[in-house]
Structure 1
Amino acid sequence: MVTIEDFRKLALSFPNTTEEAHFEKTSFRVNKKIFATFDEKNNHAVLKLNEIDQSVFCASSEKIFYPIPNKWGKQGWTIVDLARVRPKMFEDALQLSYQNVTPRKK
């Protein structure tokens, strides 16, 4: 299980991350781009994964990780059930999400 306090602490440990409101959710951003949101009502995170990472996480734990059931899910946005996810697995997924929106160094 991952609490919002754990989620917040981990997300804010990444360089240049800010926490901002995003509609009725809390978002975590790097360079103004969202890499994760927290839905308090449902105790879910939403992460931006690439297609391969999304398929791996969803296949390994389909009751914990699953694509948003619309066009956003096809773009890699993935729901994570924070009540069920193991902390290390969440940390790995959040790190990948952060890396997916961080500008590549040339």
Structure 2
Amino acid sequence: MTAIDAFRQLALSLPEMVEQPHFEKPSFRVAKKIVATLDVPNQRVCLKLSESDQDLFSIFDKTVIYPVPNQWGKQGWTFLDLRKVPEETLRDALTAAYREVAPKRLAQLVQPDSEN
């Protein structure tokens, strides 16, 4: 399974997450709000994190997880290189993004790994 396929499977396993086009990229949404976009040619995902989660995940390795370099990045949008990010880190970051965007009733269904 490729990193793209693994990400897609992981994203769609979250409650009520759907895949829809967003311009030229696939997006993953919950309650019509974008949680992530997928850049297939560059094997990169962009997640909507809180500012504190963005800071936390960027500590891992700024060449693997880093803010989008513009105003979007200041709003929490964060790139992850799917060729380099460990699966567990990807899962944790995706869960954090989902909990940031999803309605409270859905966000409560998905707990961070440390709370399982």
TM bin (shorter chain):
over 0.9
In structure 2, how many angstroms separate the alpha carbons of the residues matched to 1:104 and 1:18? 17
Aligned length: 104
Aligned equivalent of 2:50: 50
Aligned equivalent of 1:62: 62
- Overall identity of the aligned pairs, in %: 49
Which of the pair has the greater relative contact order for Cα pairs under 8 Å at 6+ separation? 1
Does the alignment pair 1:96 with 2:96? yes
Aligned equivalent of 2:28: 28
> Deviating runs (4+, > 2 A) in structure 1?
none
Q: Unaligned stretches of 5+ in structure 1?
A: none
Structure 1 residue 42: Cα displacement: 1.1
Aligned equivalent of 2:74: 74
Q: Unaligned stretches of 5+ in structure 2?
A: 106-116
Aligned equivalent of 2:113: none
What TM-score do the two structures reach when normalised by structure 2? 0.86
In structure 2, how many angstroms separate the alpha carbons of the residues matched to 1:5 and 1:95? 17
In structure 1, how many angstroms separate the alpha carbons of the residues matched to 2:59 and 2:89? 13
DSSP-derived class of the 2:45 partner: strand
In structure 1, how many angstroms separate the alpha carbons of the residues matched to 2:85 and 2:59? 14
What TM-score do the two structures reach when normalised by structure 1? 0.94
